[in-house]
Structures are given as C-alpha cells and as structure tokens.
Amino acid sequence: MQAPEIPGNERHRLAALERLQILDTAPQERFDRLTRLAKKLFQVPIALVSLVDADRQWFKSRQGLDACETPRNISFCGHAILHDSIFHVPDTHSDARFSDNPLVTLAPGIRMYAGAPLRAPDGLRVGTLCIIDDKPRRLDQSQLAALRDLADCVERELAQAEYETLMVRLSEAESYSRAVMDHVVDGIMTLDAQGIILDLNPAVLQMFGCARGDLLGRAMGSLLVPLEGAQDSAGLVTAMDAILRRAEGLELLLQGQRPDGSLFPLEVGIAEVSRRSERNFVLLLRDITRRHGAEKEQKKYAVALERLHTITTSAWSFERKVDELLLLGRDVFELPLAIVSRIEAQDYQVEFIRGPEGAPEPGTGFALGKTYCVHCLQADAPLGFHRAGESEIRDHPCYQSFGLEAYIGAPLLVDGLRYGTLNFSGLEARSQPFGKIDFNLIQLFSRWVGNEISRHRTQVVLRHEIAHRTAILDSANFSIMYCDLEGVIRSFNRGAQQMLGYSAQEVVGQRRLNFVHDANELAASAAAQGLDITLESAVEVLVGQSRSGTADEREWTYVRRDGSRFTAQVSITSVRDDQGEVSGYVCIGADISERKRIDAMKSEFISTVSHELRTPLTSISGSLGLIGGGVLGELPEKAVPLLAIARKNSERLIHLINDLLDIEKISAGKMQFDLRTQDVSVLVSKALEGIAGYATTYDVSLMQGRFPVGTPRIWVDEQRIQQILANYLSNAIKFSPPGSEVQLHVDLLGAWVRLSVEDQGIGIAAAFRPHVFEKFAQADGSDTKKTAGTGLGLAICKELAEHMGGQVGFESQAGCGSLFYAEFPLADRDGVSPAGARQNPYGWPFVERRRNSAASRAHAAVPAEPGASSRVLHVRDAKDQTLQRLADRLTLDVEQAYSIEDARARLQNRAYDLVILDIGLADQRMGTLLPDIQAMRDSPRVMVLTAEDSLAPWLSEVDTVLVKSRISEQDLGQCVRRLLQSAQA
C-alpha cells in the first residue's frame, strides 16, 4: 500500500481548512443534496464530501457510508488533493498503490474511486467530492466533467460557509433587536362589534398608562390613531369601525395615544371571534417603540457598511479614502468633529481631521492627558459617553477646556502596534447613549483606517524601493534580464541595452533568454546534458540548474547585435512565489573581457616575480651569507655591517615575494593542501624548535604553556599549520620586550582545539583591531617603524586556517600583551571530523560556534549606537513592515524567518546580536527555540512580541516581553536599540 504524500504547502493548507470552521460540524442539507445528486447521477453506492485533516479524512457529507472519518494514511482523498485534476482509479485491484489498502480488502471494499479536489477560497486544496463503487469502472470525460461541476458547487458552499462565519458580527445587531422584541409583553384586548372595550390584560394598562376602569366600556377608536400614510389592503385606514369590519386576520401599524396626548407605535393584530352568538374581536397589541429604534439602528448599520464598501473599493487616493471615512463617521455617530490622531509617548497630534469652522488644523498637537483619548488607550477598547457634563468625566481637562459633551473613540493599531486613535466628538450632548452597534462600527472603522495606513506605508516603501532598485539596475554596468518560465524576456535593463546593443522594445516580450548566446556553445552544452537542441531546450540548458535552488554561475560567449562576441560571467537564479514555486529567472551578465586581460597580465607578472626576482634574490642572499660566513676569508671591519644590512634586506624582499605569491595562490584557488590527521603535541614541538633561534636574537624566552590531558588531533596540512604558528610566534617575538616570555598554549573548547600564542608585548590599539587580519594592515605604517613586516602574514594565516576548516581570532589589551589563536575541529585517527562539524564554503569540516565575547570586543570598538554590523533575526509568519522601517532607520541587518525550522537553521549558520520572537505565529512551538539560543557560546539578546498578555513559563527567561497593542513604533525602536547596545558592550 502506498500512503499519500504530504503536500509541500501542508501548513498553509491546514490553516485554510481551519479557517473554514467546518470540521466536526453537524450535517448540512446544502452539502447532503450534492452528495445525493452525485450518488444518483453516477449510480454509485457511496458519495462523500471529504475534508483532509492532519491525520484523518473527515466526511462533511456522506451517502452510503456509516463511518464519519478514516485515517489519512490509507485514504484515497489524500492522493487526490496532491493535484488539481480529478484523481480516478478505475480498478483498485489492478493498481499496486491500492490493491492491499484496508479500504479495498475490507469494508467498504472500494473497487473504483474518483475524487475531484475541493479548493478553499484562497485556492488551497482541502478535500474532495468523491464517488466510490464496489465494481471496477472507468469514467468517460463527460462524467469526469460532471463530477468537476458538482465539486465546483461544493466549493461555492465552502466559500459560503466561510463567508457566513465572517458575517457573524454583522448579525449581532439583528440578534440584539430580536432579543429586545422577544421580551416585550403584549397587550390583549376584547372588543364588541361596535369597538367597545369588553376586557383587557394588565399589559394594556401599562402600555396606555390608564386605570382599568378608565378603559372598560370605552371605544377602542379613541385610543388608536393611524400612522400617517399607513394603508391596509383596501386603502387608507380612516376609522376604527372600518378596521373591525374589514381586518379579520390583518395586522396593522397604528399609534397608541396616552391620556397625556403622547403617541407610541403599535403593531395591532385583529381576529374575529363568536362569543354568545355575538360578533367580538380580539386585538393583540404590541408596543414596537423599541423595535422601531432597533430597525433604525440596523438601517444605519447597513447604510454605513454600504458606504464603507464604496470607499474601500474606490480608486481614490489614500488621503481621500480617510477623509471619506471621517465624513461617514460624522454622519453615523451624528457628531461634527472627526479625527485620526498619531500618538507618540505623551504627545497627541492631529493627523487627519474633518470638523466645523474653527476646528484644529492637521499637525496640531496636544498633551495626551488633556484629551479623552487617554482613557480610550488605557482601556485598550472602544470608549464613548453621550453627556460628559452629567458624568464623572466633567472634571476632565478636555471637558474643562473644550466643553466636548459627546465622544466615541477606539485605539488605532498599525501593523499590530499602537499608532493613535480614531475619535468623533461634539459640543452638543446626544439624546441616547452609544449602543453596541455604535461600538462595533467605531471598532470596524478603526481597523479599516489602521489597515489603510499600513497599506499606504507599504505602497510608499514599495514605490521608493522599486524606484531605487530601478535606478540601481539602470546604473549597473552589467546586463540584467528577467524571463518567465518559457524563457521569454520580461525585463531588460539599461546595462543590458548598452552591453548588447539592443533596445528594451526590441527584446521585452519578443525574445527568449538564449538569443544573446553563441549557438554552437549552447548546442555543445545541450549535448553534454543529453538534450536535443531546440528553442525550448536551449532555454533549459541555461536555467536547468537554477531551478533546483542553486545559482548557475559560469562563463558564456555573448553575441552583440552587431555580431561581435565577448566573454561574459553569467549568473542565473530562479525566482519563487509565495508558495515556493518557480515563477521566472533572473540572468545577470558581466563583460569580463577586460578582467581576463588583466588576469593574464597578473599571471604574467606573478611569473615574472617568481622567476625573474625570487630566483636571483635567493642566489644573492645565499652568496651574501657565504661571504659573511668567511668563505672568502676575513672581511674588512667596515664591510661586515654593510654585508649584514644587504643580507637582511634581501631576505626581507624574498619574504615579501613569498607572501605575495601565497596570497595570489590562495585567491586563485591554486594553493594545495595535504590534509591529514595531525598530533597537536608534535605540531607544537616542531613550531617551538623551528623558531627558537629567532627568539634568541630578540632575547625572548619561548615556553610551552597550557596543554590538555590526552593527545588531541586535528585535520590539517602540517606545512600550512606550521606556517600559521611561525607567523604568530615571530610576531609575538618581534613585539615583546627583551627578557620577556612568549607562550604557545593548547586548549580544548568542546569539539574544537585552540592553538594560541600569548606575548607580553605592547598590545594592539583599539582603533587598529578591526583591521588586524586585513591585507597589508600594519599598526605602525611609518617609515621609522621598529619592526619589519609586509602586512600580509596575518591575512595569510586567516586564509590558510579557513581553507582548512578553522578560524582565527585574537584577544588584546593595549600595554598588556596579545593572544592570537587558530581553532580547528577535533578529528579522529581516520581524519573524520566529529559529530556536530559541518562543511565550510571550501568543502572542509567546519563547526559554527557562538562568538567568544573577549574576541568580539577585541575585533571592534563598542558602538554608541547599533550600526550596520548589528544582526537581528525576526521569527514570525509574515513580513513585518514596522521592523523593516525600524531596520532602515537604525541601519540594521534584519533577517526574516517564517518558521521554527527556518529560524533554527539560521541560528546554526550565523551569529546574531538580537533575536525577536513573535508568538503570534500559527506555529505555537516558539518557546522551543529558546534552548537553541541559550546553548550558544555567545547567545544573542532575546525579545518577545506578543499579541496579548501571556503567562507562558519560558517568557521569564528572555530579556524583554512587549505587548504589541500597548507600544508605539518609537517604544519598539528604543527597546531594540537598548538591547543591541547591551549585546555589543
């Protein structure tokens, strides 16, 4: 049996299914009628609407099957949701995937299956409409089309279900009105044929405000007044006797009149009865004063939603839409002053306003404490009052200063963070307090405004980003082309036009990606890949590798419009959409003709240096050594120092040439490494022996320092590790005072071995520390410096260590000496790197560790403000524009991780100063990241952003927890800045 695969978008698919809120609900006729129709139409015993959950398939509607669900791993529908087309298995017994499936071999004994995928409104496949037969059967195309049509009907019902869920809030007002009407006590009255009141219940007395004796025997017509313009089926109602004659079974809307002359609306139901052979009438009276009010509120709500829909769907500018929303709010709440405010700390600023003459202008500021909005923000909910002067709010500074009687407002959130308020107010008191519908509307308006501000911000950022990137692309001195999946070019930058001689109009939408390539070169590459060269395969030759997710970078021959050819370094990368599917390709090409010419010149120069300079210099140095050693006899006293100077300078030139050649070999990838398992103790002994004579020259003692128990081994090239240690030791000796010590230590740091050289010299100045391992970097670059050197030694050490899977660093304090180290992974006797080791970019084993705090401080001075070197990882399920703006302002390097797995991988491969965890993620495993962060040697600071208060125990172990709705963007920025400063201190 073959279990169904899990789709790549499973997490999003399950979220879409959850949004439908349909799982484990009662059967519904709108789905059952479709499965009945499918069963009858296809003459099958079983028809199902199946929804595929995480580990089961659940049947929303089932015909011919008692079970309400089955495991997903044996389901047919699990296979059906993997594709858009109908999944049809004519005979399960002859299909190896299902022949031994329990649903085939046992009840219900499936022999034929056909399932049409069901898509949620967002397009994700969540289930199937399927039919099952107990006999083998192959459906023809017309039957498959009919099944698809029925599945489309089911999809519409699913969409309707989601729509109904969204409309629940809108129905609250109607539910409220119904509840009010259901609890009103009706009045009952009996009349004779002439309309005289014979009997009544206490509700009538309460309704009309009269005593029983005042109403009995009175004509009913004296209590009722027809509504102006009200009509029955025969025409205008003018008299009570006409009502009694013609209104049997009729319900009328009239007005009741109390003794004080006040009127109230009544709903009157009339029925004729026979009592003691006399004609009587029974009246059912219902005071509908409250219902009239509720209907008025409902109408107001409906009109408001209709106008809001018009605003939302219009093509108006952002500013016009907000202005129209303020006008709508003024009409709905019957208040003349409408404001969108921006609040920073304790400052309230008017951002948008609609009001009467004399109202504040946009940009006007107030102290937050002098506005009603301070209470709205404290409540974190909509707030309103209709008569401030008659309430405790009359002592508020806002009432004292402006006399605002009525107010309704709601907090305004943008991207989940506090932004300000949306509020409406007026000098006149309202006759009625704000109701539930009013608070629902102000909250709806506030959310809409917040979304519009966020959308506007995003659009502004995108416009600037597009303009910025377009300018960069157009100014780039290389060609950039974008093509679709068929290879048709959709973008052709100015650099490509200048490089290739074509205009964008000639290329975009007209040519395929291969049009600038040498045809013979493409054919040869196609043949090597086993492809027949065609227009399509030519494109495939170029983009095939990039489709797997890795960039395809190599040299190609480009052909200009005039037919001339040149070599281009071409990099092709796939572009993926939100679902991770490839949507196109970006091709970047650089003319490297000049670079190749320079490389040839450089190679020729290196060859010249190697053969024309190093060889004679070696000979000169050797000859000077022989002469100085007395091979020609005793030298004149004045000649000895001159020969020593000449020999010293020739050796210095040889050293410089050797360093230059080493750097060139490393850069060109030509440096050979003979990697083997080496005994660290042997390496240390050889290093100390080899440099002992040099130390004697400077009157410096060499000592073996700390050494761990046992015999650690590392996987390195012995010659190259000796080169690193010799450089470290010679530098330490040169910069140590006479009579001091230089020690070579070996330490075990987990899965790593550190070899470090410690001196008692002058240390390294703070300003020079960031440049220590750069090429040609020297702390003393003057002509009068005391120690000789090329400035290449440490740069070579860094390159050599990294090529062998290691890393270098140092610790130093001015005036107190320095410690330079190289670290390598532990290895066993077979040269296999230990568990936990990875491969570095050069292919050698490499273990990423947290940065040593002392080394970090040694490499760079602590910045007063976080800078571009500050690395931040933001873990959440959607891109956050607020953090992006904050990153731009603080020049931060912010990376987004959209899942726990993505975040964990990034933490293993890069060091961060701050990790921001957003526990609003659908994945509720956010706390499981904390042990990974804490286990790092130099763990970053941790900030948690929550949508609401949380009591999760793991939150007590992080640096800070912020509730997004209670902070502003400014608050967030200050907190991020503080954490980054403490992380870099």
pLDDT at 849: 30
Q: What is the pTM of this model?
A: 0.41
- Which is higher by pLDDT, 754 or 219? 754
CA dist 246 and 243 (Å) reads 5
913 assigned to some structural domain: yes
**Total count of residues recorded for the chain:** 985
Residues 626 and 583 in one domain: no
Average pLDDT value for the chain: 81
In this structure, the strands spanning 406-414 and 383-385 are antiparallel
Q: Which of 426, 459, 492 is the last residue before a domain boundary?
A: 459
Q: What tokens appear for 540 in the block?
A: 């495939």
Residues 586 and 613 in one domain: no
Give residues with Cβ within 8 angstroms of 102, minimum separation 6: 1, 74
pLDDT at 676: 87
What is the average pLDDT across 836-845?
A: 38
Residues 819 and 931 in one domain: no
CA dist 888 and 876 (Å) reads 19
pLDDT at 506: 92
620 assigned to some structural domain: yes
Helix (H) or strand (E) holding 88: strand 87-89
pLDDT at 529: 75
- How far is the first Cα of the chain from the last one, in angstroms, to the nearest whole number? 60
Mean pLDDT check: name the lowest of 242-246, 392-396, 582-586: 242-246
Total domain count for the chain?
7
863 assigned to some structural domain: no
pLDDT in tens, 173-218: 456 534 433 454 688 888 888 888 988 888 888 888 888 888 899 8
722 assigned to some structural domain: yes
The share of the chain scoring above pLDDT 70, in percent, equals 81
- Is pLDDT at 418 greater than 60 in this prediction? yes
Residues 649 and 681 in one domain: no
Query: DSSP assignment, residue 956?
Result: G
- Is pLDDT at 513 greater than 70 in this prediction? yes
pLDDT in tens, 245-265: 555 555 567 788 888 888 888
What is the average pLDDT across 431-444?
A: 88
Q: Which of 946, 964, 970 is nearest to 885 (CA)?
A: 970
CA dist 982 and 960 (Å) reads 13
Residues 496 and 525 in one domain: yes
- Helix, strand, coil distribution of the chain in percent, nearest 5: 40, 25, 35
Q: Which of 927, 931, 892, 926 is nearest to 912 (CA)?
A: 892
Read off the pLDDT band of 853 (50, 70, 90).
very low
Residues 550 and 649 in one domain: no
- Is pLDDT at 966 greater than 80 in this prediction? no
Give residues with Cβ within 8 angstroms of 613, minimum separation 6: 653, 657
Phi first, then psi, for residue 333 (nearest 5°) are: -90, -5
pLDDT at 924: 59
Residues 849 and 710 in one domain: yes
pLDDT in tens, 524-554: 888 877 777 776 678 888 888 887 777 788 8
Q: Which of 101, 131, 166 is the last residue before a domain boundary?
A: 166
Q: Which of 954, 953, 929, 945 is nearest to 979 (CA)?
A: 945
CA dist 594 and 336 (Å) reads 71
- Is pLDDT at 842 greater than 60 in this prediction? no
Domain of 960, CATH number, reads 3.40.50.2300
468 assigned to some structural domain: no
- Is pLDDT at 320 greater than 50 in this prediction? yes
pLDDT in tens, 75-95: 999 999 999 999 999 999 999
- Return the sign of the alpha-carbon dihedral for residues 845, 851, 856, 858: negative
- Return the sign of the alpha-carbon dihedral for residues 360, 365, 368, 373: positive
Q: Which of 244, 266, 287 is the last residue before a domain boundary?
A: 287
pLDDT at 713: 92
Domain of 62, CATH number, reads 3.30.450.40
pLDDT at 862: 36
- Is pLDDT at 449 greater than 90 in this prediction? yes
Read off the pLDDT band of 34 (50, 70, 90).
very high
Read off the pLDDT band of 757 (50, 70, 90).
very high
pLDDT at 250: 54
- Is pLDDT at 867 greater than 60 in this prediction? no
Residues 83 and 136 in one domain: yes
CB atoms within 10 A of CB 62: 21
pLDDT at 289: 73
Mean pLDDT check: name the lowest of 177-186, 470-479, 728-737, 763-772: 177-186
Q: What tokens appear for 214 in the block?
A: 């005042």
Q: Which of 800, 780, 765 is nearest to 734 (CA)?
A: 780
Is residue 339 a contact partner of residue 373, using CB atoms and an 8 Å limit?
A: no
Q: What tokens appear for 778 in the block?
A: 């020297």
- Is pLDDT at 461 greater than 70 in this prediction? yes
242 assigned to some structural domain: yes
Give residues with Cβ within 8 angstroms of 278, minimum separation 6: 192, 193
SS3 813: coil
Q: Which of 46, 39, 132, 34 is nearest to 92 (CA)?
A: 132
pLDDT at 896: 80
Mean pLDDT check: name the lowest of 512-516, 560-564, 605-609: 605-609
- Is pLDDT at 145 greater than 90 in this prediction? yes
Residues 516 and 583 in one domain: yes
What is the average pLDDT across 329-333?
A: 91
Phi first, then psi, for residue 428 (nearest 5°) are: -95, 140
CA dist 111 and 107 (Å) reads 11
3 assigned to some structural domain: no
pLDDT at 27: 92
pLDDT at 527: 82
Read off the pLDDT band of 242 (50, 70, 90).
low
pLDDT at 57: 95
pLDDT at 784: 39
Q: What tokens appear for 168 in the block?
A: 């629940």
Domain of 253, CATH number, reads 3.30.450.20
Residues 433 and 581 in one domain: no
Residues 442 and 480 in one domain: no
Residues 760 and 849 in one domain: yes
- Is pLDDT at 343 greater than 70 in this prediction? yes
Read off the pLDDT band of 972 (50, 70, 90).
confident
pLDDT at 446: 94
CB atoms within 10 A of CB 367: 11
Read off the pLDDT band of 364 (50, 70, 90).
very high
Range of the domain at 317: 294-459
Read off the pLDDT band of 879 (50, 70, 90).
low
CA dist 28 and 161 (Å) reads 11
Read off the pLDDT band of 830 (50, 70, 90).
low
4 assigned to some structural domain: no
Q: What tokens appear for 379 in the block?
A: 């409540």
CA 839 to chain centre: 29
